[in-house]
C-alpha cells in the first residue's frame, strides 16, 4: 500500500513501517517550494522532530538547504565577493590556498554539515605535515587558511546559507612573529660599495636609503621623480600574482609619501635618466616607453620577482650574509633606529599605517629601546648614589 498522510506533514508507509516527516523550508529565489523528508520508527519521534523544526523556524534558527559544498561555496565567494573588491594579488593568493589545500581536504563536505571539528583536524593535519617536512606550511600560513575560511563562512552566515560560523568555534594556529633579517650599517656600506655599477645598484639604493617596498621601487616612474625639489613621490606599485604583473596603487593611504632624494640617489637617478634617453635613440621604435625607472636597456620594466632572484644571487657572490631584497627595507629601519630616529618617524618614512605596525614588525627595535631605557634609569640611580657619597 502506498504511503498515506496521517497528520499534517506526517505520513506512514505500512510496508516499510516508517513514519515520514515533511519539513517545509519555504520558497527559493525562483518561488519553488523547498521541502526535505526524513523517516522515523515511532510516531512520537516524528511529532517531536516536526515540532522542534517548526519552533526553530519561527525563531529564525533554520537555514534553507543550499546544496553548496565547501568547494562550490568557496568558488561562489571568490567570484562574487573577493574578485570585485580585492587586488589581483589577493585573489591569486586566495586561489592558491583554495585549490591546493582547502578543496582537496574539505571540498566535498556539504557546507551546512561542516563541523568545527573538521576544521580543527584540518589545521592539525597541516601543522603535523610541517613537523614532518620542513618545506611544508608554517603555522603562520595555516593561520591564513583559517582567516580565509572564517571570512568566507562569515559571508555564508550573512547571506542566510549558514546559521553560524564553524570557524568561530575552533582554536586557530598560533602565529609566530618572525624577527626581521637585516644588515648592520657596516654591512650596508659594504653592499653599497659592491653594487656600484651593477644593474641592481638603483634598486638596492632606493630600498636601502628610503625603506621602500619592492613593489614601490618597481612601480616608480620618472614623472614621480622630482629633481627640482629633490623628492620622490611614492604613489604607485608594481607586483606579481603568479606570472601576471599587477600595476596598482600603494598599499594604504600612509604608503603615499614623498621621501627626500639624497645626493647619491640624485646623481644616480640623473645618470640613469640620461642613459635611458640615449637608449631611446639607440632602440628607436623598438624602445618601450614604459616610463618606469627600473627597466632593461630596451625600456621594458623588470619583473618584480626577477629582481628578487637577481639580488639573492648577487649577495651569494659576496661574503655578506644571505639577505632578501625585502631585507634591505628592514635594514633601513634598523639603521635609522641605530642613529636615533624615533619609531614613529621610521614608520612614517616606510609608509606604515600606524606606529604599532612598525613595532610589530621590528620587535628588535622595541627590545633595544627597553634596554636603553633601563640603562638610563640605572645611570640616574648611580649618579644619585654617587652624589650622596662622603669621603
Q: What is the pLDDT of residues 153-212, one digit of tens each?
A: 999 999 888 888 999 999 998 887 666 688 999 999 999 999 999 999 999 999 999 999
Give dist(CA 318, CA 311) in Å, integer: 11
Give dist(CA 88, CA 348) in Å, integer: 26
Q: Which region holds residue 299: left if phi is over 0, alpha if psi is between -120 and 50, else beta?
A: left
The residues spanned by each domain of the chain are 4-59, 70-169, 185-367
DSSP letter at 286 equals G
Say if residue 143 is exposed, middle or buried (CB neighbours under 10 Å; 0-12, 13-18, 19+).
Answer: middle
Alpha helices (H) in the chain, listed in sequence order: 43-59, 70-77, 88-97, 103-106, 116-132, 139-158, 185-194, 201-210, 214-218, 263-283, 304-316, 325-338, 343-350, 355-361, 363-387
Give dist(CA 197, CA 32) in Å, integer: 72
Task: Indicate whether 4 pLDDT > 80.
Answer: yes
Q: What is the pLDDT of residue 383?
A: 61
Q: What is the pLDDT of residue 391?
A: 47
β-bridge partners, 127: none
Q: In residues, how long is the chain?
A: 391
Q: What is the pLDDT of residue 160?
A: 83
Dihedral (CA of 196, 197, 203, 205) sign: positive
Task: Indicate whether 390 pLDDT > 50.
Answer: no
| Global confidence as pTM | 0.68
Please state at what angle helix 325-338 crosses helix 363-387, rounded to 10 degrees. 20
Residues 26-40 have a mean pLDDT of 79
pLDDT in tens, 79-117: 999 999 988 889 999 999 999 999 999 999 999 889 999
Q: Could you tell me the maximum CA-CA distance found in the chain, to the nearest angstrom?
A: 117
**C-alpha cell belonging to residue 369:** 629601546
More confident residue, 249 or 253: 249
Residues 243-271 have a mean pLDDT of 85
Residue 357's pLDDT band (cuts 50, 70, 90): low
185-367: CATH architecture = Orthogonal Bundle (1.10)
More confident residue, 272 or 380: 272
pLDDT in tens, 44-84: 999 999 888 888 777 766 677 778 999 999 999 999 999 99
Task: Indicate whether 376 pLDDT > 70.
Answer: no
CATH of the structural domain 70-169, one choice from 1.10.10.10, 3.30.210.10, 1.10.150.130, 3.30.230.10: 1.10.150.130
Amino acid at each position: 500500500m502506498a504511503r498515506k498522510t496521517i497528520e499534517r506533514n506526517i505520513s506512514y508507509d505500512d510496508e516499510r513501517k516508517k513514519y515520514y516527516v515533511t519539513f517545509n523550508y519555504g520558497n527559493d529565489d525562483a518561488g519553488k517550494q523547498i521541502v526535505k523528508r526524513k523517516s522515523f520508527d515511532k510516531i512520537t519521534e516524528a511529532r517531536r522532530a516536526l515540532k522542534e523544526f517548526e519552533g526553530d523556524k519561527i525563531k529564525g534558527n533554520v537555514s534553507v538547504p543550499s546544496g553548496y559544498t565547501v568547494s562550490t561555496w568557496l568558488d561562489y565567494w571568490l567570484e562574487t565577493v573577493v574578485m570585485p573588491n580585492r587586488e589581483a594579488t589577493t585573489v591569486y593568493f586566495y586561489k592558491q590556498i583554495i585549490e591546493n589545500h582547502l578543496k582537496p581536504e574539505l571540498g566535498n563536505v556539504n557546507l551546512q554539515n561542516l563541523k568545527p571539528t573538521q576544521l580543527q583536524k584540518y589545521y592539525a593535519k597541516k601543522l603535523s605535515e610541517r613537523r614532518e617536512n620542513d618545506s611544508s606550511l608554517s603555522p603562520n600560513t595555516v593561520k591564513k587558511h583559517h582567516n580565509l575560511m572564517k571570512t568566507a563562512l562569515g559571508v555564508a552566515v550573512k547571506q542566510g546559507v549558514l546559521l553560524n560560523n564553524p570557524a568561530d568555534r575552533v582554536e586557530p594556529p598560533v602565529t609566530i612573529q618572525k624577527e626581521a633579517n637585516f644588515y648592520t650599517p657596516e654591512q650596508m656600506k659594504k653592499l653599497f660599495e659592491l653594487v656600484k655599477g651593477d644593474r641592481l645598484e638603483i634598486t638596492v639604493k632606493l630600498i636601502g636609503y628610503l625603506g621602500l617596498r619592492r613593489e614601490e621601487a618597481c612601480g616608480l616612474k620618472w614623472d614621480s621623480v622630482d629633481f627640482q625639489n629633490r623628492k620622490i613621490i611614492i604613489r604607485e606599485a608594481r607586483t606579481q600574482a603568479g606570472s601576471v604583473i599587477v600595476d596598482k596603487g600603494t598599499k594604504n593611504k600612509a604608503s603615499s609619501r614623498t621621501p627626500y632624494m639624497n645626493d647619491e640617489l640624485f646623481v644616480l637617478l640623473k645618470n640613469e635618466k640620461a642613459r635611458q634617453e640615449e637608449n631611446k635613440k639607440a632602440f628607436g621604435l623598438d624602445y618601450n616607453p614604459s616610463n618606469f625607472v627600473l627597466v632593461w636597456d630596451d625600456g621594458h620594466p623588470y619583473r618584480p620577482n626577477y629582481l628578487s632572484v637577481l639580488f639573492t644571487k648577487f649577495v651569494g657572490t659576496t661574503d655578506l650574509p644571505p639577505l632578501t631584497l625585502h631585507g634591505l627595507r628592514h635594514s633601513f629601519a634598523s639603521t635609522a633606529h641605530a642613529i636615533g630616529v624615533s619609531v614613529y618617524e621610521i614608520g612614517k618614512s616606510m609608509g606604515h599605517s600606524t606606529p604599532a605596525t612598525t613595532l610589530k614588525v621590528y620587535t628588535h627595535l622595541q627590545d633595544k629601546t627597553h634596554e636603553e631605557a633601563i640603562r638610563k634609569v640605572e645611570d640616574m640611580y648611580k649618579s644619585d648614589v654617587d652624589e650622596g657619597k662622603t669621603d
